[in-house]
Amino acid sequence: MAKSFIHYDTKNGIEYASIYTPGWSNGKKDNDIVYLGKVIDKKRGIFKNRSRGEFQYSLENGFSYSTVNNTAILNEERLILDFGDAYCLYEYLKSTPYLVLFENILPCEKGTVMSMLGYKVLSNGANCYAEDWWEGSYTSVLYPDAALKSQRISEFLKRLGDEGVQREFFRKYLSTAFDGEKEHGILIDSTGMPNAIDLPLTAVNTHGGKTTNEARLIFVVDKLTHMPLFFRYNAGNIVDVSTLVATISELKAMGVRINNAILDAGYYSEINMKALHKANIAYLTRVGPNRKLYKELANEHMNGIFQMKYTVIYNERVLYIKRVEKNIFGYNVFCYIIVDHARRSEETARHLRDALDDRHKTPEDVDNELKTKGMFVLLSSSQIETADILPLYYTRQMIEQIFDITKNDVDLLPLRVHSEITFRGHLMLTFLSTIICLLFQKALKLSEFSASGAFTVLRNQKCKVFADRIIIKEATKKMCNILKMLGLTSPTTIPPVD
């Protein structure tokens, strides 16, 4: 591997310097260049630029502020940076296994990895603005060697999207973040990533009655911790029902042992249910109204379900839940016919109003359609108390909240990549950023703050960077409360001054 060197250049009588690291890309010379700025003292390696102010640099020791000992500049103010949000983010990660884990994904580029994660979590936006954010953030002091120009970020995403890099990360992540767990209960679901990019993964998909050009992102979430375990992606025209066996196979290949799964209706099929039984994976899934099983259960049980013995209260709503055992695909399973009383009333009234305007339907057709209003069906391989079935099934809402984070908080969409390997890197960065957001949501769950709200408050705490120290603006009461929830306190100077 080529060694880095400092290149000096003189323009208009002023000497400037940059760090050059020779390299090649696609058979062409492609040097990695980090601008140092104006040369102040060449012998002692002192430089000055707009983002860092005056600092010292050497190939052996890297960047330093504290070793610059020019008395004339000791007390000169260098920078005013956003401090509180970045300090909180990285200091809290130090108390978890995740900081070391993330920094070692690409060890030679840990500054870029952590700066991009900071940008996604704390700011969000197009990658072309990442360097502008970094220059105004305390992150630039913590990770001064980050390479955040647009072209460098694109190359970084390609390296992050490498299959070997991702496999090694998941091997460490699954053993570190879920240490001591022998088996997992999992939640699986997918979401669309609409885009107009000419990728092989972009295809027409019809989901929930809406047709889009998209790719599909699959997340697997641990049922106990509510943390994401793994992600996969597919072309937009591959339906959910076709992806379950492959997803479970990949998890098993990485050493994840699964003992139960909660699935949405899109995963219900004969192939999938048989595969789960053969793998001894207990499951709970919804059965869609277009399925033969749903119609059979409606005809057999809806007439007698409206009885007190089937009544259950869930979230202050009155429901009727009837459990029946049935042989399906050669296995005995438990079917839960559920009717939401209020929803049935609303849907019945709407249906009758529409039926009066539709002269083509007979009264018999209308009566048959009324039978299933407010009804849905859950299917379980294990017998579960009727009062417990809905709280268990609705734990899958956690995965919907995670998709909401990926799309609204860490910039999953819109996609701005033009190759599959860059796309993989983008998804990996999104996955890592989502983990961070969930960590902070858990830590702040007893407070009035969301993770994004807390970071917004903390961003208002600034710091002033001098040649030998960083002076921190006093934290407000609200800032102190947030930090306390995270087990942190606000420093007054960095490094400490006696």
- What would the pLDDT profile of 456-489 be if each residue is shown by its tens digit? 999 999 999 987 889 999 999 999 999 999 999 9
Of the ranges 4-18, 61-75, 108-122, 210-224, which is most confident?
108-122
pLDDT digits (tens, 9 = 90+) for 66-84: 444 444 444 445 589 999 9
CA 363 to chain centre: 50
Q: Do residues 54 and 73 touch, judged by C-beta distance below 8 A? A: yes
What was the pLDDT predicted at 429?
Answer: 96
Q: Which of 24-28, 112-116, 198-202, 237-241 has the highest mean pLDDT?
A: 112-116
Residue with tokens 């209003």: 373
**Per-residue pLDDT averaged across 223-241, rounded?**
91
Nearest to 437 by CA among 415, 461, 408, 457: 408
Q: Strands 203-207, 210-222: parallel, antiparallel or unpaired by DSSP? A: antiparallel
Q: Which of 106-120, 143-157, 205-219, 387-401 has the lowest mean pLDDT?
A: 205-219
**What residues pair up with 29 in beta bridges, in sequence order?**
24
More confident residue, 204 or 254: 254
CA dist., res. 354 & res. 152, Å (int): 58
Residues 6+ away with beta carbon under 8 Å from 59: 4, 5, 6, 19
Which residue do the tokens 């020019």 mark? 70
**Mean predicted confidence (pLDDT) in 347-375:** 83
Q: Return d(Cα 142, Cα 466) in angstroms, integer.
A: 15
CA distance 447 to 461: 20
